[in-house]
Amino acid sequence: MNIKSILLLSGVLALTLTAVPFMPAFAQNQTTPNQSAPAKRGMNRLNLTDAQKTQMQQIKQATKSEIAAYLQSQGITVPQGQNPREAMRSLNLSEAQKAQIKAIREKGKQQVQGLLTTEQKAMMQQRRGTMKNRGQQRRQAQPGQFQPGQAPVQSGI
Tally of structural domains, the chain: 1
Average pLDDT estimate for 19-39: 51
Contact 75, 86 (CB under 8 A): no
Confidence of residue 148 (pLDDT cuts 50, 70, 90): low
Q: Which of 2, 20, 1, 24 is nearest to 12 (CA)?
A: 20
In this structure, is residue 146 part of a structural domain? no
How are the residues of the chain apportioned to helix, strand and coil, as percentages rounded to the nearest 5? 70, 0, 30
How far apart are alpha carbons 137 and 157 in whole angstroms? 29
In this structure, is residue 152 part of a structural domain? no
Contact 153, 146 (CB under 8 A): yes
In this structure, is residue 97 part of a structural domain? yes
The one-letter code for the residue type at 98 is K
pLDDT digits (tens, 9 = 90+) for 77-119: 877 787 878 888 888 889 999 999 999 999 999 999 999 999 9
What is the pTM (predicted TM-score) of this model? 0.58
In this structure, is residue 56 part of a structural domain? yes
Domain that holds residue 89: 47-130
Q: Identify the pLDDT of residue 34.
A: 44
In this structure, is residue 95 part of a structural domain? yes
